[in-house]
A and B are shown apart, each in its own frame.
Chain A
Amino acid sequence: MAEEIALGEVTQTVEYSYWRLVFHRLLKHKLAMVGLVSLLIIILFALVGPFIWRVNPFLQLAGGEELLPPSVAHPLGTDDYARDVLARLMYGGRISLLIGFSAATSATVVGAVVGLTAGHYGGIVDTILMRIVDILLSIPIFPLLIALASVVGKGILPLIFVIVVFGWMGDARLVRSVVLSLKEEEFSEAARAIGCSGRRIMFVHYLPNVMAPIIVSTTLGIGSAIIYEASISFLGFGVQAPLASWGNMLQNAQNYMFITPRMVWYPGLAILFTVLSFNFMGDGLRDAMDPKLYR
C-alpha cells in the first residue's frame, strides 16, 4: 500500500485546463502581447481618458480659435468648429470601439447560430442557409451598405445593424465547416446514444468545440468592423456630427487636408493602430488555440 502511494506521487503531474494553457501560450506570443498592450492603451485612452482630460468635445470655442495648431491648452489643436481634437479623439474612440465590439460579437452570434443549424441539420436547411450566405457574399458591399444605411437611417444603432447584416457570413461558413467535421466524430453519435436531443447536441456538445475559432474570428472581426464604421462614416452615412467617431473625424478632415494635414493623421493613425492590434491579437489567439499544439 505504501508503495502504491509513492507511485501515485511520482506520476502526479501538473494539470492545466485548456484555457489556462491557451493563456500561457498567449503570454509567450510576442506579437500578440504587442497587440494586447497597445489595445489596452487604446481602450484606456478612450474609456478613462475623458475623466482625466476633462474638456467638452462638443464645446465650440470663440471665433478665431478654429484649426489651431497643438498647444498646451489643446495638445492636438482644434478642429474647424474650434472643438478640442484630443477630447474628440477620446470620445470618437469610445464610439468606434463600441461599434467594433458590438457589431463583431453580434455578427459572430448570428454566424455561429446559422453555422450550427446548417451544419447540424444538413440537407435542405443547409442548402437554403448557405445559398443565402453565397448571395450576401456576392453583393458588392459598399453600394449596398450606403443604400441600406439610407433606408434604416443614420446613427449608431443602424450602423451596427448594417455591419452585422453583412458581417456574419464568414463566421457561418467557419462554424458550419467545424460542425460538419464534428458530426463525423464518434462522440456526437455517443451523445445521441445517451439520448440527447438535436438541439442539445448543437448547443451543449458542438458549441464549446467551436469556441476557439469563434473567438479568433471575433477578434479579427472587431478590426474589420471598426474599418467598416470608419468607411461608412467617412462616406457620411454613419455616425453623425456633432457626435464624434474616428470615421467622421476623418471625413471632416478631408476638407482641410491641405491646410491642416494633422487632422487626418490623428483619427487615421488611431484606426490603423487599433485594427493592427486586433489583428495581432487574433493571430496570437489562433496560434495559442491551435489544437495541434494542444497537450
Chain B
Amino acid sequence: MEKNQILVDVKDLKTYFFTDDGVVEAVDGVSFTIKRGEVLGLVGESGCGKSVASLSIMRLIDKPGKIVGGEVIFKGEDLLKKTEEEIRKIRGSEIAMIFQEPMTSLNPVFTIGNQIIEAILLHQDLSEEEAKKRTIELLNLVGIPEPERRFNQYPHELSGGMRQRAMIAMAISCNPDLLISDEATTALDVTIQAQILELMKDLQKKIGMAVLFITHDLALVAEMANNIAVTYTGKIVEYSDARSVFKNPKHPYTYGLLRSVPSLLFEETKVELPAIEGMVPSPYHMPQGCHFNPRCPFVTEICRKEMPELNELEPHHLVRCFHPVQAAKEVV
C-alpha cells in the first residue's frame, strides 16, 4: 500500500434537504481528497454542513435529505453509485464512524462487549469465541481498564469517556481505511478530550487509517490534522495544509475565526476579544453573492453580486474570496 495513494476523492458533492419551507443546500459543491493515513480536518460553525458531508460519504442521508450530485470516489469506486447491499458491506468495515454523543450512540439494552462483537461478526468471518477474544483485545487497545469486566457491562455503567473509547473500539474493530470522527470529543470534558485525541492519534499511526476529523474547535484540528478545509454555509471557503491555514489564513472567515480564539495575550492587554460580526445566514435566505458578505469586513460591490470561485492562490492553498486577506501576520 502506497502512503501517498488517494483514498477518498470527494468531487462536487451536493446534498440538499427538501423541506416544506424550501430547499436547504446543506452541502453545496464540496470537494476534497484524503490520502491514505492522512488526517483531514473539516472545520466550521454549527449548521455549515460538516456532519451532512460525512453522512453523505456513508450514504446515511435520510429523507427529506438527498444527495443530488457529485461523486465520492473511495478506492477508485464511486460510493454514490453502489447498491444498498454493497454500501452496507463498506460501512463499518472499510469506513467507520464515531459520533458526537457517546451517551446515546450505544444501544442501552446490550452490553458493550456484545455491541462490539456485532460489528465484528457483521463483517468478519470469525467464530463467536474469536470475536470475543478480539473484542477484549480492542477494549485493551483503546485503554479501557479491566476489559473482561467491562465486556459484560451495559452502557449506563460506563462514563462518557469510557463509552467513547468503546465506540472507538467498535469503529476500529474491522481495521477501517477511513475513520470519520464527527465531533467525537465535543461532548467530553477537556481532560478526557485530550485523552481521546491522544488515543485517536496513536491508533491512527498504529493502524495507518485515514481520518476525516470534523469539529468546530480550531485547537483540536491544529492538534490532529494534516490538511484543513474550512466550511461556511455548505461550501468550502479555504482548503490547505494545516500550517498554511493557521499561519497564513487567506479567507476573511478563517481569519476572523482564528482571531476570535481567546489567548492569554488579550487577558494582559485588556483588549476585547474580536468576534465575527453578525450571524450565520438562515439557510432559507442565503444572501446573494458571497454568502459571507454580510459579515465580511472587506466586503465590496462584487461580493454582493457574485459567488467567488475556489481559487488556488498559492500552491495547494485554495480560497473562495475576491479579496483574500493580504497580511501574512500571525494571528494565533
Contacts and interface: CB of A to CB of B under 8 A. Distances in A.
Interface of A: 8, 15, 17-18, 123, 185-187, 189-197, 204-205, 208-209, 211, 294-295
A193 B153 contact: no
B110 A195 contact: no
A186 B187 CA distance: 13
A189 B119 CA distance: 13
A1 to B, nearest CB: 13
Identify which of B104, B107, B146, B153 gathers the most chain A CB atoms within 10 Å of its CB: B107
A205 B107 contact: yes
A15 B157 contact: yes
Interface in B48-89: 58, 60, 63, 88-89
Given A18-B154, A123-B63, A193 B97 contact: yes
28 contacts: A8-B146, A18-B154, A185-B104, A186-B100, A186-B101, A186-B104, A186-B105, A187-B105, A187-B107, A189-B60, A189-B99, A190-B106, A192-B60, A193-B60, A193-B96, A193-B99, A194-B91, A194-B92, A194-B96, A194-B118, A194-B170, A195-B89, A195-B91, A195-B122, A204-B118, A208-B107, A208-B109, A209-B107
Contact of B108 (A15, A17, A204, A209): A209
Contacts of B91: 192-195
Chain A interface mostly helix, strand, loop or mixed?
helix
A211 B154 CA distance: 17
B194 interface: no
B100 A194 contact: no
Contacts, number: 68
Contacts of A294: 156
Interface residues of B, number: 32
B119 to A, nearest CB: 4
B58 A193 contact: yes
B295 interface: no
Contacts of B119: 194-195
B63 A191 contact: no
A52 B254 CA distance: 87
A193 B110 contact: no
A265 to B, nearest CB: 46
A15 B153 contact: yes
B201 interface: no
B158 to A, nearest CB: 12
B90 interface: yes
A243 to B, nearest CB: 42
A186 B106 CA distance: 8
B18 to A, nearest CB: 14
A77 to B, nearest CB: 52
Contacts of A196: 88, 118, 122
Contacts of B110: 208
B220 to A, nearest CB: 20
B311 to A, nearest CB: 35
Contacts of B154: 17-18
A190 B97 contact: yes
Nearest to B153: A15
Interface in B157-189: 157, 167, 170
A119 B63 CA distance: 14
Identify which of B58, B89, B90, B109 gathers the most chain A CB atoms within 10 Å of its CB: B109
Nearest to B55: A189
Interface string B235-270: 000000000000000000000000000000000000
